[in-house]
Structure 1
Amino acid sequence: MTSKQHTAEHGSQLEQVNGFTNPGIPEHKPRVTDSSPAAERMAERQIAGWFILSMIGTLWFIVSYFLFPIEDGSMGSIRLQNAMLGLGATLALFSIGVGIVLWAKTLITDVEVVESRHDIAGSEEDQAIALEIINQAKEESGIARRPLLRNTLIAAVAIAPLPALLVFRDLGPLPGDSLFKTLWGPGVRLVQDPGMVPHEDRYIRAEDVTIGSAFHVIPEKMYESEHPLNEKAKAAVLLMRIDPQELNTDPAKEDWGVDGIVAYSKICTHVGCPVALYEHQTHHLLCPCHQSTFDVTNHCAVIFGPAKRPLPQLPIAVDDEGYLVAQRDFVDPVGPTFWEINTRETSEQ
């Protein structure tokens, strides 16, 4: 059955439905490229030009990555490289899209047909029909008899993923055990987060932490490290004081706090957002990103939300001068559970 016969039969069936008359498919109006070989060749060259422009955009992305390097501490170089990379990526993707749209509008057969839907089956007859449809699509699109368009499209699509391979280079080396280590260690003092310039008067005495209070804490001398913001992303801590009678302390962690003062990682174990909302009445910590809620009275166990494990606790103590210090680094890895989680034994700290 031809498409026209099928359309006529389908139309006659529709005329009998609920008394409505089927208006039928609108009359096909030929395009300029359907009747003019010269216009057809011109359209083909234009489409190929867009595909070539896409390749130029991809190559510009690659060249820009090396031509405009990021200089340490220079926001201007970051903006310039991002602008050049964005220009290349936009040109590459936009040009492929425009070329495909023009191909569909000017050269691919645009005769409208109506086809009934059939149940999907796996018989040999259906496979033959599917193969016939593929061959028909190949013929109507002209991809088999238009090597210029076919080859330029294949080339543009083939090199389009190359920029992504370059971007992977910026991800740096594999993290190794760096995700399991922070700047916290034996005797490291807890310091209120002061911004980019730490001061000695930001050290925290146990007597300064009152019941109901919460401090945003970082390790001392953190901003003297080579990559302070990276270190802060792992070492940020929330310090709180709760009536010791309200704490359900694990006997194995009984000496991890100081008279109701406890410290927990500020990095949510869901996707790493900062857990910064402390509710004094319920002793709950809330992550504002996806509402994961942690119970401070039960070692920050998850009581709501998508997080799968508690916030790691930082064992703390008081030094000879009365300041709060870390006993060791976190026993559990901080941050989102994206990698293999292996709890470290206390003896390894």
Structure 2
Amino acid sequence: MSDNKGPGGTPEPQEERRTHDRVVGTPSPAAEKQLLAVDEDPAPAGAGAQLDEDAAKRAERIVALFFLLAFAGSVAFIAYYIGWSGRDGGMHGIFRARESNFWLGGTMALSFLALAIGMTIWVRRLMTSAPIVQERHELQSDAETRAAFNQEFLEGAEDSGITKRPLLRRTLLLAAAPLGLAPLILLRDLGPLPEKRLRHTFWGEAVKKAQAEGKKGVRLVVDGTNKPLKVSDFASPGGMITVLPEGVEESHHALNEIAKSVTILINVPADQFKPAKGRENWHVNGIVAYSKICTHVGCPAALYEQTTHHILCPCHQSTFDATDAAKVVFGPAARPLPQLPLAVEDGYIVATADFPEPIGPSFWERG
């Protein structure tokens, strides 16, 4: 064990070796080094300090202007949401989505931004700052403490200007009121509830129109070409094609109606086809039609396996048996794909009625 030695090999005195040791409980030397300069005698303006009243009036008008701008932005948001967004298929329509997002987002952003700017100017120009020190005592405050709190509260209210500047108070309440209603208005975005609208598609409307003209039903047209489909055009077993009701593109809300009416047509070998009870005449020589909307969460059930005659939804692998009324054989879907009744008229494949049950996910029909 070596001895501590000073210069020249002489032993270092014990007292000198301990001069650098810090005694427990003493302040750290690092406390003397400050990263930021601190005023030794800070003198911030206290609550209720006098302001330049002319400058304060100008700031008050500017803040009120921003509050009014926030009010206008929130009112424009609500007006657009209720009014203009309901045109041409509503805000959920394909053509209106970008426009709706722009105006709804822009007006709401304007409202919040104007409100934030107004509050910032209010704090910076119309309020003074004073340090508040709260000492920890017993939970129950004595009368003197309560009186002091009451005095400080009143001074703070006076300092904020909320009591002596009615213009700011009124415009702030005016700007905040529509923002409080905005969440209630946005609840509409969770819907609207489909109610019974999904119980009927354009197939039913088109069939009624065709039967009123003395026809058996509405013709099936190929999606993309709108060409009416003949039995001879779809005579090869194992094929699948997407079809729509004739005239759907001329409807008022064409894209929405197409989305609900889209149907897959499958040619199942007649010897393997097992029609459900009461639906023996719903096919044409094994040609059968099912809704293309998966009954799980609404994805397109657009894949068909010819060897097993299974319809597959690629989203969550729900699988339906095309030979057995599109019953579920695998996956999370809860019910079969709705089937469309078919017939033949003048060589064309026609639908004689709408889908007998609601199309799409099972939870939709509970609306």
- TM-score range normalised by the length of the shorter chain: 0.5 to 0.7
Deviation at 1:268, TM superposition (A): 3.4
The one-letter code sitting in structure 2 at the alignment partner of 1:216 is T
Taking the aligned partners of 1:78 and 1:274, their CA distance within structure 2 comes to 23
> Which structure 1 segments of 5+ residues have no match?
1-14, 117-123, 126-132, 343-349
- Percent of pairs with identical residues: 36
Which residues of 2 match residues 1-349 of structure 1 at below 5 A?
37-38=51-52, 46-60=62-76, 87-100=106-119, 142=160, 145=163, 148-160=167-179, 177-184=196-203, 185=207, 187-195=217-225, 198-199=226-227, 202-205=228-231, 208-243=234-269, 249-281=275-307, 283-286=310-313, 288=315, 291=316, 293-297=318-322, 298=324, 299-301=326-328, 303-305=330-332, 307-317=333-343, 319-337=344-362, 339-341=364-366
Taking the aligned partners of 2:129 and 2:230, their CA distance within structure 1 comes to 76
Taking the aligned partners of 2:291 and 2:154, their CA distance within structure 1 comes to 59
Taking the aligned partners of 2:152 and 2:296, their CA distance within structure 1 comes to 50
Taking the aligned partners of 2:133 and 2:339, their CA distance within structure 1 comes to 67
Q: TM-score, normalised by structure 1?
A: 0.60
Taking the aligned partners of 2:257 and 2:302, their CA distance within structure 1 comes to 18
Bigger drift between 87-96 and 159-168 goes to 159-168
> Which structure 2 segments of 5+ residues have no match?
1-23, 90-94, 141-148, 208-215
Pick closer, same or farther for the CA change 1:175–1:80 going to 2, 3 Å: closer
Taking the aligned partners of 1:51 and 1:279, their CA distance within structure 2 comes to 63
Q: TM-score, normalised by structure 2?
A: 0.57
Question: Alignment RMSD, CA only?
Answer: 5.6
Spell out, residue by residue over 1:247-268, the C-alpha distance to the aligned partner (whole angstroms, 9 max, x if none).
5653343443334432111233
Q: 2:319 is paired with a residue of what secondary structure? A: strand
Q: 1:251 is paired with a residue of what secondary structure? A: coil
Higher Rg? 2
Pick closer, same or farther for the CA change 1:33–1:41 going to 2, 3 Å: farther
Pick closer, same or farther for the CA change 1:155–1:315 going to 2, 3 Å: same
Asked if structure 2 preserves the Cα contact closer than 8 Å seen for 1:180 and 1:333, the reply is yes
